[in-house]
Amino acid sequence: MLLAIQEATNSTNQEFPFFLYGKEIGNNQIEFTEFMSASNNRQTIEANFNQTMINNLQNRINGNLNNGLVVCHGHSHPPIGNFHQNFSLGDFTSFMQMNEENPVFKNRQVELTSCLVTSTGDINFIFYDNTNQNFYRFTNVMVKGKDNNYRPVNCYGLNQKEQLNTNSIRR
Ligand SMILES: [Zn+2]
């Protein structure tokens, strides 16, 4: 699904916004099981969440406080400019804002992560820890195939087979 986003991004040169919903299934391990995007014909190339997406997020959060729900707000970068392989400064800022302005995320009743699909198909996840105001990268990302097997996905331009990291995200 996220690679379909990459294709659409590269063919339209637009950023696509999306949400992933999942659960923390172990220490620093998140499994995302749901994908949501409602992208309409937008005038800008910036990824903005429309009202349909915001309503969807609100519905998911309602009644899901403190039970391990993890929300990922993601977007893609088309191959334009110098920063399409990584989060832009604006991306970090809007991620922090989303965390600071929503008490549900700020008080960690629902965990918030962020994801970037790059023009080369890397899938980069970050987590912002508002206690010590630090960003963390997830460097082990797996996709669950139709055969229920997990296979690694490139992220941050890293070859995952060489990784020895404990952090892991599955989708
Ligand atoms: Zn961006």
| % of the chain beyond a pLDDT of 70 | 87
**So what's the pLDDT on residue 99?**
93
Centre of ligand 1 from the C-alpha of residue 49, in Å: 13
**So what's the pLDDT on residue 166?**
39
Q: Above 50 in pLDDT, residue 163?
A: no
Rg (CA), the chain: 15
CA distance 161 to 149: 16
Q: Above 70 in pLDDT, residue 139?
A: yes
* Residue 143: CA count within 13 A, CB half-sphere: 14
Centre of ligand 1 from the C-alpha of residue 153, in Å: 20
| pLDDT tens readout for residues 107-125 | 999 999 999 999 888 999 9
Q: Which residue has the tokens 């082990």?
A: 140
The region of weakest confidence among 88-92, 103-107, 135-139, 156-160 is 156-160
Each domain of the chain, given as residue ranges in start order, spans 2-170
Taking a C-beta distance cutoff of 8 angstroms, is the pair 45, 33 a contact?
no
Q: Above 50 in pLDDT, residue 162?
A: no
| pLDDT tens readout for residues 16-29 | 999 999 999 988 89
The torsion angle over the Cα atoms of residues 57, 54, 85 and 153, rounded to 10 degrees, is 30
Q: Which residues share a beta bridge with 111?
A: 70
Taking a C-beta distance cutoff of 8 angstroms, is the pair 144, 150 a contact?
yes
Centre of ligand 1 from the C-alpha of residue 76, in Å: 7
**So what's the pLDDT on residue 169?**
56
Among candidate residues 3, 14, 20, 6, the one with its CA nearest the CA of residue 40: 14
159 pLDDT band, cuts 50/70/90, is low
Q: Which residue has the higher pLDDT, 48 or 145?
A: 145
Choices 2.40.50, 1.10.3470, 3.40.140, 1.10.287: CATH for 2-170: 3.40.140
Taking a C-beta distance cutoff of 8 angstroms, is the pair 19, 53 a contact?
yes
How many residues comprise the chain?
A: 171
CA distance 70 to 80: 30
Centre of ligand 1 from the C-alpha of residue 79, in Å: 11
Q: Above 70 in pLDDT, residue 38?
A: yes
Residue 25 gets the label, from left (phi > 0), alpha (psi -120 to 50) or beta, of: alpha
pTM of the predicted protein model: 0.86
